Structure 1
Protein backbone atom coordinates (compact mmCIF):
# COMPACT_ATOMS: atom_id res chain seq x y z
CA UNK A 1 0.00 0.00 0.00
CA UNK A 2 1.18 3.52 -0.81
CA UNK A 3 -0.15 5.92 1.85
CA UNK A 4 0.67 8.97 -0.27
CA UNK A 5 -1.66 8.01 -3.11
CA UNK A 6 -4.45 10.53 -3.64
CA UNK A 7 -7.83 9.76 -2.04
CA UNK A 8 -9.70 9.52 -5.33
CA UNK A 9 -13.09 7.83 -5.43
CA UNK A 10 -11.78 4.45 -6.59
CA UNK A 11 -9.30 4.40 -3.69
CA UNK A 12 -12.05 5.00 -1.11
CA UNK A 13 -14.16 2.23 0.40
CA UNK A 14 -17.50 3.33 1.84
CA UNK A 15 -18.71 2.05 5.22
CA UNK A 16 -22.27 2.31 6.52
CA UNK A 17 -22.22 1.90 10.31
CA UNK A 18 -25.27 -0.19 11.23
CA UNK A 19 -23.88 -2.38 13.98
CA UNK A 20 -25.22 -0.65 17.10
CA UNK A 21 -27.74 -1.80 19.68
CA UNK A 22 -30.33 0.87 18.80
CA UNK A 23 -30.73 1.55 22.51
CA UNK A 24 -32.44 4.91 22.07
CA UNK A 25 -34.90 3.26 19.70
CA UNK A 26 -35.86 0.59 22.19
CA UNK A 27 -33.37 -1.96 20.89
CA UNK A 28 -34.66 -2.17 17.32
CA UNK A 29 -32.20 -2.41 14.45
CA UNK A 30 -32.04 1.28 13.55
CA UNK A 31 -30.81 0.91 9.98
CA UNK A 32 -33.80 -1.25 9.07
CA UNK A 33 -36.47 1.18 10.27
CA UNK A 34 -38.48 2.55 7.33
CA UNK A 35 -38.53 6.16 6.17
CA UNK A 36 -40.57 7.09 3.09
CA UNK A 37 -40.89 3.45 2.11
CA UNK A 38 -37.26 2.42 2.47
CA UNK A 39 -35.01 1.38 5.37
CA UNK A 40 -32.81 4.14 6.72
CA UNK A 41 -29.69 2.24 5.67
CA UNK A 42 -30.94 2.14 2.07
CA UNK A 43 -31.15 5.93 1.99
CA UNK A 44 -27.56 6.15 3.23
CA UNK A 45 -26.33 3.56 0.73
CA UNK A 46 -27.85 5.50 -2.16
CA UNK A 47 -26.03 8.67 -1.15
CA UNK A 48 -22.73 7.04 -0.23
CA UNK A 49 -22.36 4.65 -3.18
CA UNK A 50 -21.64 7.30 -5.85
CA UNK A 51 -18.88 8.74 -3.65
CA UNK A 52 -16.82 5.56 -3.20
CA UNK A 53 -15.46 2.52 -4.95
CA UNK A 54 -16.29 -0.57 -2.91
CA UNK A 55 -18.95 -0.52 -0.18
CA UNK A 56 -19.18 -2.21 3.23
CA UNK A 57 -22.01 -2.41 5.75
CA UNK A 58 -21.08 -2.88 9.41
CA UNK A 59 -23.89 -5.00 10.87
CA UNK A 60 -24.14 -7.38 13.81
CA UNK A 61 -27.80 -8.39 13.44
CA UNK A 62 -30.08 -9.24 10.52
CA UNK A 63 -27.07 -9.64 8.25
CA UNK A 64 -29.16 -11.40 5.61
CA UNK A 65 -31.45 -8.36 5.32
CA UNK A 66 -28.50 -5.99 5.13
CA UNK A 67 -26.91 -8.21 2.48
CA UNK A 68 -30.07 -7.89 0.40
CA UNK A 69 -30.10 -4.11 0.87
CA UNK A 70 -26.47 -3.86 -0.12
CA UNK A 71 -26.63 -6.24 -3.07
CA UNK A 72 -27.59 -3.60 -5.69
CA UNK A 73 -24.50 -1.62 -4.65
CA UNK A 74 -22.15 -4.62 -4.42
CA UNK A 75 -21.81 -4.05 -0.68
CA UNK A 76 -20.18 -6.60 1.63
CA UNK A 77 -21.33 -7.17 5.21
CA UNK A 78 -18.72 -6.96 7.97
CA UNK A 79 -19.29 -7.70 11.67
CA UNK A 80 -17.53 -6.51 14.81
CA UNK A 81 -14.67 -8.70 15.94
CA UNK A 82 -15.22 -7.57 19.54
CA UNK A 83 -18.21 -8.82 21.59
CA UNK A 84 -21.11 -6.93 23.19
CA UNK A 85 -21.57 -4.03 20.74
CA UNK A 86 -18.59 -1.93 21.92
CA UNK A 87 -19.53 1.09 19.81
CA UNK A 88 -18.76 2.75 16.48
CA UNK A 89 -15.00 2.28 16.76
CA UNK A 90 -15.53 -1.48 16.54
CA UNK A 91 -17.44 -0.95 13.30
CA UNK A 92 -14.68 1.30 12.02
CA UNK A 93 -12.11 -1.35 12.84
CA UNK A 94 -14.07 -3.98 10.94
CA UNK A 95 -14.22 -1.61 7.99
CA UNK A 96 -10.53 -0.72 8.12
CA UNK A 97 -9.60 -4.41 8.28
CA UNK A 98 -11.90 -5.36 5.41
CA UNK A 99 -11.24 -2.50 3.01
CA UNK A 100 -9.01 -3.34 0.06
CA UNK A 101 -8.19 0.31 -0.48
CA UNK A 102 -6.11 3.14 0.93
CA UNK A 103 -9.02 5.02 2.48
CA UNK A 104 -12.30 4.38 4.28
CA UNK A 105 -15.27 6.78 4.25
CA UNK A 106 -17.72 6.13 7.09
CA UNK A 107 -21.27 7.31 7.72
CA UNK A 108 -23.92 6.17 10.25
CA UNK A 109 -27.00 4.32 9.06
CA UNK A 110 -29.48 6.85 10.52
CA UNK A 111 -28.49 9.93 8.48
CA UNK A 112 -30.54 9.73 5.26
CA UNK A 113 -29.63 13.24 4.06
CA UNK A 114 -25.84 13.03 4.19
CA UNK A 115 -24.13 15.34 1.66
CA UNK A 116 -23.47 14.07 -1.84
CA UNK A 117 -20.07 15.80 -1.73
CA UNK A 118 -19.04 14.38 1.65
CA UNK A 119 -16.29 12.17 0.25
CA UNK A 120 -14.89 14.78 -2.12
CA UNK A 121 -14.66 17.49 0.52
CA UNK A 122 -13.13 15.23 3.15
CA UNK A 123 -10.66 13.87 0.59
CA UNK A 124 -9.57 17.37 -0.40
CA UNK A 125 -9.01 18.32 3.24
CA UNK A 126 -7.19 15.09 4.06
CA UNK A 127 -4.82 15.51 1.15
CA UNK A 128 -4.14 19.22 1.58
CA UNK A 129 -3.51 18.81 5.33
CA UNK A 130 -1.53 15.56 5.00
CA UNK A 131 -3.83 14.27 7.74
CA UNK A 132 -4.69 10.73 8.77
CA UNK A 133 -8.37 11.45 9.46
CA UNK A 134 -10.81 14.03 8.13
CA UNK A 135 -14.11 14.54 9.92
CA UNK A 136 -17.09 16.91 9.97
CA UNK A 137 -18.11 19.97 11.95
CA UNK A 138 -21.22 22.12 11.61
CA UNK A 139 -22.51 25.24 13.32
CA UNK A 140 -26.07 26.07 14.32
CA UNK A 141 -27.79 29.43 13.85
CA UNK A 142 -26.19 30.67 17.07
CA UNK A 143 -22.71 29.81 15.90
CA UNK A 144 -22.33 26.82 18.22
CA UNK A 145 -20.09 24.21 16.64
CA UNK A 146 -20.81 20.49 16.65
CA UNK A 147 -18.46 17.66 15.74
CA UNK A 148 -19.86 14.67 13.83
CA UNK A 149 -17.00 12.21 14.30
CA UNK A 150 -18.51 9.09 12.74
CA UNK A 151 -18.64 10.93 9.41
CA UNK A 152 -14.99 10.47 8.56
CA UNK A 153 -12.42 9.67 5.92
CA UNK A 154 -9.58 7.60 7.35
CA UNK A 155 -6.40 6.03 6.08
CA UNK A 156 -6.79 2.25 6.32
CA UNK A 157 -3.23 1.93 7.63
CA UNK A 158 -4.65 3.05 11.00
CA UNK A 159 -6.27 -0.36 11.60
CA UNK A 160 -3.55 -1.78 13.87
CA UNK A 161 -3.46 1.32 16.05
CA UNK A 162 -7.25 1.25 16.44
CA UNK A 163 -7.12 -2.44 17.34
CA UNK A 164 -4.58 -1.68 20.08
CA UNK A 165 -6.72 1.22 21.33
CA UNK A 166 -9.81 -0.99 21.62
CA UNK A 167 -7.84 -3.85 23.16
CA UNK A 168 -6.82 -1.44 25.92
CA UNK A 169 -10.50 -0.96 26.76
CA UNK A 170 -10.86 2.46 25.15
CA UNK A 171 -14.10 3.25 23.33
CA UNK A 172 -14.29 7.02 22.65
CA UNK A 173 -14.06 8.09 19.04
CA UNK A 174 -12.66 11.54 19.78
CA UNK A 175 -9.98 10.12 22.06
CA UNK A 176 -8.74 7.85 19.30
CA UNK A 177 -8.81 10.64 16.73
CA UNK A 178 -6.66 12.72 19.09
CA UNK A 179 -3.86 10.17 18.66
CA UNK A 180 -3.62 11.06 14.98
CA UNK A 181 -3.40 14.05 12.68
CA UNK A 182 -7.06 14.97 12.25
CA UNK A 183 -8.58 17.75 10.18
CA UNK A 184 -12.12 19.04 10.81
CA UNK A 185 -14.07 20.13 7.75
CA UNK A 186 -16.83 22.70 8.22
CA UNK A 187 -20.11 22.01 6.42
CA UNK A 188 -22.77 24.72 6.34
CA UNK A 189 -25.88 22.52 6.17
CA UNK A 190 -26.29 21.11 9.66
CA UNK A 191 -29.49 19.35 8.63
CA UNK A 192 -27.56 17.07 6.27
CA UNK A 193 -26.00 15.38 9.30
CA UNK A 194 -29.23 15.00 11.24
CA UNK A 195 -29.36 11.58 12.86
CA UNK A 196 -32.60 9.91 13.88
CA UNK A 197 -32.48 8.79 17.50
CA UNK A 198 -36.01 7.70 18.36
CA UNK A 199 -39.05 6.09 16.81
CA UNK A 200 -40.98 9.28 17.54
CA UNK A 201 -38.49 11.35 15.54
CA UNK A 202 -38.80 8.83 12.74
CA UNK A 203 -42.59 9.05 12.81
CA UNK A 204 -42.42 12.85 12.71
CA UNK A 205 -40.01 12.80 9.78
CA UNK A 206 -42.22 10.35 7.89
CA UNK A 207 -44.60 13.25 7.36
CA UNK A 208 -41.87 15.44 5.83
CA UNK A 209 -39.14 15.17 3.21
CA UNK A 210 -36.29 16.24 5.47
CA UNK A 211 -35.32 17.35 8.99
CA UNK A 212 -36.49 20.59 10.50
Structure 2
Protein backbone atom coordinates (compact mmCIF):
# COMPACT_ATOMS: atom_id res chain seq x y z
CA UNK A 1 0.00 0.00 0.00
CA UNK A 2 1.26 3.47 -0.85
CA UNK A 3 2.09 5.95 1.90
CA UNK A 4 -0.82 8.00 3.10
CA UNK A 5 -0.78 11.48 1.46
CA UNK A 6 -2.12 14.60 3.13
CA UNK A 7 -4.02 15.25 -0.12
CA UNK A 8 -6.72 12.85 1.08
CA UNK A 9 -8.24 15.79 2.94
CA UNK A 10 -8.72 17.73 -0.35
CA UNK A 11 -9.81 15.11 -2.89
CA UNK A 12 -11.78 15.29 -6.09
CA UNK A 13 -15.50 15.20 -5.35
CA UNK A 14 -17.65 12.77 -7.32
CA UNK A 15 -21.44 12.92 -7.52
CA UNK A 16 -22.92 9.58 -8.59
CA UNK A 17 -25.89 10.41 -10.83
CA UNK A 18 -25.68 7.67 -13.43
CA UNK A 19 -28.35 5.23 -12.27
CA UNK A 20 -31.54 4.09 -13.97
CA UNK A 21 -33.80 5.60 -11.28
CA UNK A 22 -35.80 2.37 -11.29
CA UNK A 23 -37.57 3.06 -8.01
CA UNK A 24 -38.48 6.52 -9.34
CA UNK A 25 -40.19 5.12 -12.40
CA UNK A 26 -37.10 5.58 -14.56
CA UNK A 27 -36.76 9.28 -13.78
CA UNK A 28 -33.28 10.79 -13.68
CA UNK A 29 -32.95 10.92 -9.91
CA UNK A 30 -30.37 13.69 -9.68
CA UNK A 31 -32.62 16.07 -11.60
CA UNK A 32 -35.72 15.58 -9.47
CA UNK A 33 -36.65 18.80 -7.63
CA UNK A 34 -36.21 19.33 -3.92
CA UNK A 35 -37.31 22.74 -2.63
CA UNK A 36 -37.41 23.89 -6.25
CA UNK A 37 -33.88 22.80 -7.21
CA UNK A 38 -32.43 19.52 -8.55
CA UNK A 39 -31.25 17.03 -5.94
CA UNK A 40 -27.81 16.92 -7.51
CA UNK A 41 -27.43 20.68 -7.11
CA UNK A 42 -27.99 20.41 -3.35
CA UNK A 43 -25.29 17.74 -3.23
CA UNK A 44 -22.90 19.76 -5.40
CA UNK A 45 -23.11 22.75 -3.09
CA UNK A 46 -22.25 20.70 0.00
CA UNK A 47 -19.52 18.69 -1.70
CA UNK A 48 -17.82 21.55 -3.55
CA UNK A 49 -16.63 23.25 -0.36
CA UNK A 50 -14.75 20.09 0.67
CA UNK A 51 -12.89 19.20 -2.53
CA UNK A 52 -10.32 20.52 -5.01
CA UNK A 53 -12.40 19.69 -8.07
CA UNK A 54 -15.85 18.30 -8.78
CA UNK A 55 -16.93 15.55 -11.19
CA UNK A 56 -20.48 14.43 -11.97
CA UNK A 57 -21.04 10.86 -13.14
CA UNK A 58 -24.11 10.77 -15.41
CA UNK A 59 -25.34 8.57 -18.24
CA UNK A 60 -28.15 10.74 -19.63
CA UNK A 61 -29.11 14.42 -19.73
CA UNK A 62 -25.42 15.23 -19.95
CA UNK A 63 -26.01 18.81 -21.10
CA UNK A 64 -28.31 19.43 -18.14
CA UNK A 65 -25.72 18.12 -15.71
CA UNK A 66 -23.03 20.20 -17.40
CA UNK A 67 -25.12 23.33 -16.85
CA UNK A 68 -25.86 22.29 -13.26
CA UNK A 69 -22.17 21.77 -12.56
CA UNK A 70 -20.91 24.86 -14.40
CA UNK A 71 -20.88 27.15 -11.33
CA UNK A 72 -18.57 24.62 -9.65
CA UNK A 73 -16.42 24.07 -12.78
CA UNK A 74 -17.54 20.45 -12.65
CA UNK A 75 -16.65 17.92 -15.31
CA UNK A 76 -19.32 15.43 -16.44
CA UNK A 77 -18.23 11.84 -17.11
CA UNK A 78 -20.11 8.70 -18.12
CA UNK A 79 -19.71 4.96 -17.58
CA UNK A 80 -17.40 3.11 -19.96
CA UNK A 81 -20.31 0.86 -20.96
CA UNK A 82 -23.99 1.61 -21.56
CA UNK A 83 -25.42 -1.20 -19.43
CA UNK A 84 -25.93 0.82 -16.24
CA UNK A 85 -23.48 -1.32 -14.29
CA UNK A 86 -24.16 0.43 -10.98
CA UNK A 87 -22.31 2.81 -8.67
CA UNK A 88 -18.95 1.12 -9.11
CA UNK A 89 -19.01 1.96 -12.82
CA UNK A 90 -19.62 5.60 -11.92
CA UNK A 91 -16.86 5.45 -9.34
CA UNK A 92 -14.46 4.06 -11.96
CA UNK A 93 -15.27 6.94 -14.33
CA UNK A 94 -14.58 9.36 -11.49
CA UNK A 95 -11.31 7.69 -10.52
CA UNK A 96 -10.17 7.87 -14.14
CA UNK A 97 -11.09 11.56 -14.40
CA UNK A 98 -9.54 12.68 -11.11
CA UNK A 99 -6.19 14.45 -10.95
CA UNK A 100 -5.93 14.05 -7.17
CA UNK A 101 -4.78 11.09 -5.09
CA UNK A 102 -8.26 10.47 -3.70
CA UNK A 103 -11.90 10.73 -4.78
CA UNK A 104 -14.72 11.53 -2.37
CA UNK A 105 -17.92 10.07 -3.79
CA UNK A 106 -21.52 10.65 -2.76
CA UNK A 107 -24.89 9.82 -4.31
CA UNK A 108 -26.86 12.50 -6.11
CA UNK A 109 -29.88 12.07 -3.84
CA UNK A 110 -28.39 12.86 -0.40
CA UNK A 111 -28.86 16.63 -0.07
CA UNK A 112 -27.89 16.83 3.61
CA UNK A 113 -24.50 15.14 3.45
CA UNK A 114 -22.09 16.42 6.13
CA UNK A 115 -19.96 19.45 5.39
CA UNK A 116 -17.09 17.72 7.21
CA UNK A 117 -17.42 14.40 5.36
CA UNK A 118 -14.02 14.68 3.66
CA UNK A 119 -12.21 15.72 6.82
CA UNK A 120 -13.55 12.89 8.97
CA UNK A 121 -13.04 10.21 6.34
CA UNK A 122 -9.51 11.41 5.63
CA UNK A 123 -8.57 11.42 9.32
CA UNK A 124 -9.86 7.88 9.83
CA UNK A 125 -8.20 6.66 6.64
CA UNK A 126 -4.87 8.06 7.84
CA UNK A 127 -5.23 6.44 11.24
CA UNK A 128 -5.99 3.04 9.72
CA UNK A 129 -3.47 3.42 6.87
CA UNK A 130 -6.22 2.30 4.52
CA UNK A 131 -7.07 2.97 0.88
CA UNK A 132 -10.85 3.32 1.28
CA UNK A 133 -12.92 4.96 4.01
CA UNK A 134 -16.69 4.70 4.10
CA UNK A 135 -19.55 5.64 6.43
CA UNK A 136 -21.57 3.91 9.12
CA UNK A 137 -24.37 5.26 11.31
CA UNK A 138 -26.19 3.81 14.30
CA UNK A 139 -29.91 4.26 14.89
CA UNK A 140 -31.72 4.68 18.21
CA UNK A 141 -32.09 0.90 18.55
CA UNK A 142 -28.35 0.38 18.13
CA UNK A 143 -28.58 -0.99 14.59
CA UNK A 144 -25.49 -0.13 12.56
CA UNK A 145 -25.98 0.77 8.88
CA UNK A 146 -23.25 0.95 6.26
CA UNK A 147 -23.52 3.68 3.63
CA UNK A 148 -21.01 2.40 1.07
CA UNK A 149 -21.53 4.95 -1.70
CA UNK A 150 -20.31 7.68 0.65
CA UNK A 151 -16.60 6.93 0.44
CA UNK A 152 -13.09 8.29 0.12
CA UNK A 153 -11.21 6.11 -2.36
CA UNK A 154 -7.59 6.12 -3.53
CA UNK A 155 -7.48 6.84 -7.28
CA UNK A 156 -4.69 4.31 -7.86
CA UNK A 157 -7.28 1.56 -7.32
CA UNK A 158 -8.86 2.35 -10.72
CA UNK A 159 -7.21 -0.52 -12.61
CA UNK A 160 -8.24 -3.04 -9.97
CA UNK A 161 -11.80 -1.74 -10.07
CA UNK A 162 -11.84 -1.97 -13.86
CA UNK A 163 -10.77 -5.62 -13.67
CA UNK A 164 -13.40 -6.31 -11.01
CA UNK A 165 -16.14 -4.88 -13.24
CA UNK A 166 -14.80 -6.66 -16.33
CA UNK A 167 -15.21 -9.94 -14.43
CA UNK A 168 -18.92 -9.19 -14.11
CA UNK A 169 -18.80 -8.16 -10.46
CA UNK A 170 -21.01 -5.30 -9.28
CA UNK A 171 -21.24 -5.31 -5.47
CA UNK A 172 -19.65 -2.32 -3.77
CA UNK A 173 -18.93 -4.07 -0.47
CA UNK A 174 -17.31 -7.03 -2.24
CA UNK A 175 -14.88 -4.70 -4.00
CA UNK A 176 -14.09 -2.81 -0.81
CA UNK A 177 -13.27 -6.13 0.88
CA UNK A 178 -10.42 -6.63 -1.61
CA UNK A 179 -8.59 -3.62 -0.13
CA UNK A 180 -7.55 -2.08 3.14
CA UNK A 181 -10.65 -0.15 4.17
CA UNK A 182 -12.11 1.46 7.24
CA UNK A 183 -15.72 2.10 8.25
CA UNK A 184 -16.11 5.50 9.88
CA UNK A 185 -18.97 6.15 12.32
CA UNK A 186 -21.00 9.37 11.97
CA UNK A 187 -23.56 10.47 14.54
CA UNK A 188 -26.10 12.22 12.31
CA UNK A 189 -28.03 9.46 10.56
CA UNK A 190 -30.27 12.03 8.81
CA UNK A 191 -27.26 13.49 6.98
CA UNK A 192 -27.01 10.30 4.92
CA UNK A 193 -30.70 9.93 4.13
CA UNK A 194 -31.19 9.53 0.41
CA UNK A 195 -34.29 9.55 -1.77
CA UNK A 196 -34.60 6.29 -3.68
CA UNK A 197 -38.31 6.74 -4.45
CA UNK A 198 -40.76 9.56 -5.03
CA UNK A 199 -42.21 8.85 -1.58
CA UNK A 200 -38.81 9.28 0.04
CA UNK A 201 -38.28 12.45 -1.96
CA UNK A 202 -41.61 13.76 -0.66
CA UNK A 203 -40.42 13.00 2.89
CA UNK A 204 -37.26 15.01 2.25
CA UNK A 205 -39.38 17.86 0.94
CA UNK A 206 -41.13 18.05 4.30
CA UNK A 207 -37.87 18.35 6.25
Are 2:196 and 1:197 aligned? yes
Are 2:115 and 1:116 aligned? yes
| Pairwise CA distance, 1:48 | 0.2
Are 2:84 and 1:63 aligned? no
C-alpha distance in 2, partners of 1:68/1:3? 37
Counting matched residue pairs gives: 206
**Aligned twin of 2:5:** 5
| Pairwise CA distance, 1:17 | 0.2
Are 2:145 and 1:146 aligned? yes
Kept in 2: contact 1:9–1:53 (CA 8 A): no
- SS state at 2:81 partner: coil
**Aligned twin of 2:160:** 161
Matches within 5 A, 1:119-138: 119-138=118-137
**Aligned twin of 2:170:** 171
- SS state at 2:49 partner: helix
- SS state at 2:7 partner: coil
Kept in 1: contact 2:101–2:156 (CA 8 A): yes
Are 2:46 and 1:47 aligned? yes
C-alpha distance in 1, partners of 2:192/2:73? 25
- SS state at 1:55 partner: strand
Structure 1 length-normalised TM: 0.94
Q: Which deviations, in whole Å up to 9, do the C-alpha atoms of 1:49-85 show, x marking residues without a partner? A: 0000010000000000000000000100000002210
Structure 2 length-normalised TM: 0.97
Where does the alignment leave 5 or more consecutive residues of structure 1 unmatched?
none
Kept in 1: contact 2:8–2:101 (CA 8 A): no
Kept in 2: contact 1:14–1:105 (CA 8 A): yes
C-alpha distance in 1, partners of 2:135/2:4? 22
| Pairwise CA distance, 1:9 | 4.2
| Pairwise CA distance, 1:173 | 0.2
- SS state at 1:183 partner: strand
- SS state at 1:51 partner: coil
C-alpha distance in 2, partners of 1:76/1:165? 25
**Aligned twin of 2:18:** 19
